[in-house]
């Protein structure tokens, strides 16, 4: 009971601080230290076998451990993307792309439909780029400005970005292999699993979420008198930007490169997001230098990339580090595990069991912001539910992952969520509130579809 109370209190304090506009970075660090200090006082071992020799200093060693792991992963990826974004803004390529795409789209008086289509595009990209925060960064770099220019409110546009990575599908998603291992399943072709099970269920889930997203966004925009971006009011014409038309392609280069050099197209060459960004940066610099005919100036302009990386790290980057630290602290307390065990301790019908699995995934992901950690938490529990209900293993194993993935669109504490809030200057709780209904409806649709097709 104490573990559950501690978990609820920590989450409540975090949500309270976000609402009251406290510095989120400082709050995350403070709550994490308090949580680990409490664990130490209670007799727990924070660092385990990796202890530095002092339980007191182990609390602070967790900061080093979290930062070193995060910096080599998501932070490095997003800093590379963010640096490229800053360079695109500097040479006005982003302006050209957004203006050229928005010009014909402004004739379409359905901005909410366009927001829904961005969600679809982002989730298709996630087949190739499993990292949700990478997909979010690409969406913000390419399609987010377009949404603002065609009349979408900032809240609707930011909410659409948060929903652009709520799927889990494709052979490149590591969590699928983790789930199989935890469930004790071997000799399974993940590619066949993808084609036969994941695609039909995920498509239905996406369609339902998109259809619900549109009226929900309209309702909240009207209720909250949501503001349009000033870019819509001061948008430039293509001629006013002052760079060649083909600059519009430059912001898309990393996305195109990653899609082409992947297992889906050129299977013999699979390029990372970081490598793709620097490869495209070289191409962009060469093109810009040729067009401007000023080698020294263009050469020095590349420094804005590293300035942008620094700006990212002192803002969203450090949020990601301490967000990961806080999520790890919640898992160490163990309150969420007790909640999960309590919710799944009963036996009911097959439909109830399946809905519990799906909604449980949404819930734990939503409140903790930890995907991979919750895979290890949910899959063993879900496997026992599948066995007791006599369900087909693979489809319902995937369903549990779908629940966790959907929860990523309604979590205020994940690094990707904090990044989106910072990059769009929209309160993350505003996005969570708007996405909750589409996400829950998508989860129910996923459960029903799985039951109908594989039950």
For 221-257, write each residue's pLDDT tens digit: 999 877 665 554 344 456 667 788 888 888 888 878 8
Weakest-pLDDT range from 53-62, 146-155, 181-190: 181-190
The number of distinct structural domains making up the chain is 1
d(CA 69, CA 80): 17
Q: What pLDDT score does 235 carry?
A: 42
Each as own residue / partner, the long-range contacts of residues 266-275 (CB below 8 Å, 24 or more positions apart, any chain) are 272/77, 273/77, 273/80, 273/81, 273/129, 273/131, 273/134, 274/76, 274/77, 274/80
3-state helix, strand and coil shares in percent for the chain, rounded to the nearest 5: 80, 0, 20
Q: Is the pLDDT of residue 290 over 50?
A: yes
Q: What pLDDT score does 369 carry?
A: 82
Closest CA to 402 of 437, 347, 435, 449: 449
Q: What pLDDT score does 190 carry?
A: 62
Which residues form the domain of 89? 2-454
CB 8 within 8 A of CB 335: yes
Average pLDDT of every residue of the chain? 80
Q: What pLDDT score does 48 carry?
A: 73
For 357-386, write each residue's pLDDT tens digit: 788 889 888 887 877 667 766 776 677 667
* pLDDT higher at 291 or 272: 291
* pLDDT higher at 410 or 424: 410
């Amino acid at each position: 009971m104490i573990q559950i109370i501690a978990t609820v209190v920590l989450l409540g304090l975090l949500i309270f601080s976000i609402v009251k506009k406290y510095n989120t970075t400082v709050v995350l660090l403070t709550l994490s230290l308090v949580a680990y200090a409490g664990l130490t006082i209670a007799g727990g071992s924070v660092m385990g076998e990796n202890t530095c020799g002092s339980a007191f200093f182990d609390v602070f060693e967790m900061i080093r451990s979290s930062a070193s792991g995060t910096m080599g992963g998501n932070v490095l990826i997003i800093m590379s993307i963010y640096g490229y974004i800053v360079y695109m803004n500097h040479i006005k390529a982003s302006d050209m792309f957004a203006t050229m795409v928005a010009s014909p789209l402004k004739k379409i008086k359905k901005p909410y439909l366009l927001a829904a289509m961005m969600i679809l595009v982002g989730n298709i990209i996630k087949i190739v780029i499993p990292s949700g925060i990478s997909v979010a960064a690409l969406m913000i770099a390419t399609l987010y400005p377009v949404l603002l220019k065609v009349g979408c409110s900032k809240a609707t546009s930011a909410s659409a970005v948060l929903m652009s990575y709520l799927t889990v599908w494709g052979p490149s998603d590591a969590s699928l292999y983790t789930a199989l291992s935890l469930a004790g399943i071997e000799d399974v072709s993940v590619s066949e699993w993808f084609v036969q099970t994941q695609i039909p269920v995920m498509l239905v889930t996406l369609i339902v979420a998109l259809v619900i997203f549109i009226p929900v966004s309209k309702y909240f925009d009207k209720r909250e008198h949501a503001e349009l971006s000033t870019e819509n009011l001061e948008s430039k014409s293509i001629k006013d930007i002052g760079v060649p038309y083909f600059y519009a392609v430059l912001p898309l280069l990393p996305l195109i490169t990653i899609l082409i050099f992947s297992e889906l197209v050129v299977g013999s060459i699979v390029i990372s997001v970081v490598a793709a960004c620097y490869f495209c940066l070289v191409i962009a610099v060469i093109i810009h230098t040729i067009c401007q005919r000023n080698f020294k100036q263009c050469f020095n302009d590349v420094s804005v990339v590293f300035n942008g990386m620094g700006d990212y790290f002192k803002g969203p980057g450090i949020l990601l580090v301490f967000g990961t630290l806080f999520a790890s602290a919640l898992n160490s307390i163990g309150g969420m595990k007790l909640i999960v065990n309590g919710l799944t301790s009963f036996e009911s019908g097959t439909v109830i069991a399946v809905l519990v699995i799906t909604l449980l995934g949404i819930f734990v992901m939503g409140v903790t912001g930890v995907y991979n950690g919750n895979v290890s938490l949910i899959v063993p529990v879900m496997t026992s539910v599948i066995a007791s209900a006599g369900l087909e293993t693979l489809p319902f194993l995937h369903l549990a992952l779908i629940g966790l993935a959907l929860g990523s669109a309604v979590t205020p504490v994940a690094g990707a969520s904090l990044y989106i809030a910072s990059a769009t200057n929209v309160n993350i709780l505003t996005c969570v509130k708007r996405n909750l209904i589409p996400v829950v409806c998508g989860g129910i649709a996923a459960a029903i579809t799985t039951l109908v097709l594989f039950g």
